[in-house]
A and B are shown apart, each in its own frame.
Chain A
């Protein structure tokens, strides 16, 4: 026996009854149906036949619905337009609309599924991008009152944001009044030993004022005190939450325990809260005076130090900037060698963290918005097509006195229901999509750990879906509500509906146009990446393994010890079968790090800071050129004989030679290096694109020089002990040698770590990460847009063919050939796509300019790209029209005419 309640509810579905009344009627009729069924069965009627009879009697060719409609309407007031009857009526009406809308959608599962899918893609993609924007740009940084935190950079003639010198910082802090407090921090690597395998930690040397400035207290223990940050004070350390949790097993008795960092025993005095983050990946904080380096107190040295300040309440950025500028001017006079030509620049801390990525994210937000609009246009067209088949329903309701606003509201409720369903699916898609996007572009996003679905994201999705529902529901609702009852009730007449078809056409053109813009963007990005990958960086990037290495804590105590440890390490690694050359370097091209050194010609005393030249300085061991396969143009490269016992030498690159020794032979000439003294030029090497495959040509400091690792004075060797980079040229696939490299670096004491191992191809790929991230997303968006637009064209053309079947039949009857009929349909489709294409190309000319900073070697209005886009879109549009055109060509005139 069927489930009569369900059957009856279906019969009642179109009536829009109040739910309680509907339940009552359902119950009563179901009881009747059961009685009748039992009676028929007792009378010997077979079950299927009995079911059929009861069904017939129940619906009586829709008599039930019609009759009930008349009866029940008598005192079921149509809940009228919004605000009409007070909140209670409105709520009841809304509930009513929701139930009705839900059922209507359930009745056409095909339509609902397609619409839900389109919306899920549109809303899901938007949610995914918004969750990135939310995590990166919108969420406040995890400090109290973060808007008052600023980063303070030094400026030089070459750099608008250079790193600071420690003595300058001390003077700023002492002399300024605009700040609550100020702190300096320097990122460094630590060799953590004595707890199992040697381990590399990412750490930060900070001043005692650091946590006070940020307004952060440790979760356990205490922050640094000035007494901790004195030269010669016992070493103390504060751990980040993540490190404490994973490496220290969240031991609450960690305070007071000691750990060995770079051979020094440091007492753990605090653990930071889970939310705290200053720079990503940092595991441990140590007072800056623990840094064993003579560089710290040298005003001429800018050892990657960053300064952060907290503005006093009421002090503006401008006032603070003016104050620091005047302090900097005083310092420049006082210390001309170090500070002439140097100024300061304040940058809000959030700007410093996310400022660079903001334009990219906003661009992607715009692009993904296009995808949503396309999805909306698609669903609106589906709804429009469907509203034709529901015309009778609207007309009957209008004839029965339903206000137009009432019908609009019902239809809007349906579309909002659809978009909410799409949003629910979209959230799942977003969760998955966000993970995918982050995985695809590791490291290209700051604050990526804060990306996730939180309340902001959920609210955003809700708002977007309601808005979306209203936007794509409006035009179908408008046309639905304006259905002329007279016309619609006369079946078989084909309503003119010209305005409606124009709207459908406009939607299709809009979809195509937006798809064109996204395709153009994706095409330009693909071209840029392709061109960038073919840029010659000045060395051979294939088969190179790079890795950070450090020496044993036992060797760290003395300069010669460190030098010997590294030399032995190089010898062991160089002996590994498959290693062609191994070398140490202080700096890798394309790695996002830089190290400038001041120099001047001749052997004279150091001129003032504004009259000194700057070059990129690589401190390297003898085989560096071979390992990197940088061409040597003249003279010789550094050798193992260039040690402390030999005169100081350098190798310069072709650009330094050309810029500073035009029409001269630089080899044999003397120059002076800041901090080092006089050196003799012994060779000229090829230029390497240090700053980036794209940006090196326009970088401020392009001249390069190579200084021998073995000529680093003993007192500076300590700086190299905790980490330098080894580059290894290999015959086999570089990473396959990593285990052996690890073993040979570790050495007999097994306490020398290898970390951050990667191939040069990975470094190149990382240097393109942000671009690749943008390209990848634009490709995904463009492909989605293309698919949705194709579905849109197909849908409208199929529907048009169905609607014009009669007319096409007449044409065939009057002698039109199949080709002519197909051509007719194709022409209409191509006209729509063509309008969209032209509009899209025009829009693309304007919008791709936003991409300009990311493009390389290709103009935003690149005709080849735009032409390719036009071809791709044309082909897709043709394909989308092909099936409907074929169907049109096979219209049987008899059947088409009989339709009447």
Chain B
């Protein structure tokens, strides 16, 4: 049975990690982030604007990421998000935590660990 509310929370928890990972090496704008999540998960994960942007703002408020308006010639300006120093630390610890978590789940459920 699907429990949408729990599903949402799951997605939220993991979403932070996904987001932080995607901008680890370079700054990206919101649409690009959403697109990358969809592409790299081969369509299994999708974030719509309604949940993506609130999440970005939340992370920014926490000081993990920082948005900056960038203008490129001939285009509308866009807001690019990059990881802050604090964000780097958080990402590292979340990655570690996630791995522990996935392993634990795998052990319990017998799902093979990738």
Contacts and interface: CB of A to CB of B under 8 A. Distances in A.
B48 A71 contact: no
A67 interface: yes
A59 B54 CA distance: 12
Contacts of A67: 50-51, 54-55
B50 A75 contact: no
- Most A CB atoms within 10 A — which of B34, B49, B51, B79? B49
Nearest to B12: A67
Contacts of B54: 64, 67-68, 70-71
A36 B49 contact: yes
A57 B57 contact: no
Given A35-B31, A36-B31, A74 B49 contact: no
Interface in B39-61: 48-51, 53-55, 57-58, 61
B76 interface: yes
Contacts of A70: 54, 58
Interface string A33-73: 10110000000000000000000111110011001101110
Nearest to A75: B61
Contact of B53 (A36, A64, A74, A75): A64
A57 B30 contact: no
B50 A59 contact: yes
A175 interface: no
- Interface SS of B by simple majority: helix
Given A31-B76, A74-B61, A57 B50 contact: yes
B78 interface: yes
A57 B48 contact: yes
B61 A28 contact: no
Contact of A64 (B30, B49, B76): B49
Given A31-B78, A35-B31, A36-B31, A58 B50 contact: yes
Contacts of A35: 31
Interface residues of B, number: 18
Contacts of A58: 48-50
Contacts of B51: 60, 63-64, 67
Interface string A10-41: 00000000000000110111011101100000
Contacts of A64: 49-51, 53-54
B23 to A, nearest CB: 15
Contact of A60 (B31, B48, B55, B61): B48
Nearest to A30: B76
Contact of A32 (B30, B57, B58): B30
Given A28-B30, A68-B54, A72-B57, A33 B49 contact: yes
Interface residues of A, number: 24
A59 B29 CA distance: 19
Contacts of A29: 49, 53
A323 B63 CA distance: 89
A32 B61 contact: no
Nearest to B50: A60
Contacts of B78: 28, 31
B31 A31 contact: yes
Contacts of B34: 32
Contacts of A57: 48-50
Contacts of A71: 54, 57-58, 61
B101 to A, nearest CB: 24
A244 B21 CA distance: 88
A248 B65 CA distance: 82
- Most A CB atoms within 10 A — which of B48, B55, B58? B48
Nearest to B48: A57
Contact of A28 (B48, B50, B55, B79): B79
A41 to B, nearest CB: 15
A75 B58 CA distance: 11
B10 to A, nearest CB: 16
A433 B51 CA distance: 55
A74 B48 CA distance: 22
A33 B79 CA distance: 14
B53 A32 contact: yes
Contacts of A24: 79
Contacts of B55: 67
A809 B58 CA distance: 48
B31 A68 contact: no
B94 to A, nearest CB: 19
Contacts of A56: 48
Interface string A124-144: 000000000000000000000
B50 A63 contact: yes
Nearest to B8: A63
Interface string A191-217: 000000000000000000000000000
Contacts of B58: 70-71, 74
A59 B53 CA distance: 11
Contacts of A74: 58, 61
Contacts of A32: 30-31, 34, 49, 53
Given A36-B31, A60-B48, A74-B61, A28 B76 contact: no
- Most B CB atoms within 10 A — which of A57, A59, A68? A57
- Most B CB atoms within 10 A — which of A24, A32, A35, A70? A32
A721 B31 CA distance: 97
A33 B76 CA distance: 13
- Most B CB atoms within 10 A — which of A25, A63, A68, A71? A71
Interface string A67-90: 110111011000000000000000
Interface of A: 24-25, 27-29, 31-33, 35-36, 56-60, 63-64, 67-68, 70-72, 74-75
18 contacts: A25-B53, A25-B57, A28-B79, A29-B53, A35-B31, A56-B48, A59-B50, A60-B48, A60-B51, A63-B51, A64-B50, A64-B54, A71-B54, A71-B57, A71-B58, A74-B58, A74-B61, A75-B61
Given A24-B79, A28-B53, A57-B49, 9 more contacts: A28-B79, A29-B49, A32-B31, A32-B53, A58-B48, A58-B50, A60-B48, A67-B51, A68-B53
Among all A-B residue pairs, the 4 with the closest Cβ atoms: A60-B50, A67-B54, A57-B48, A64-B50
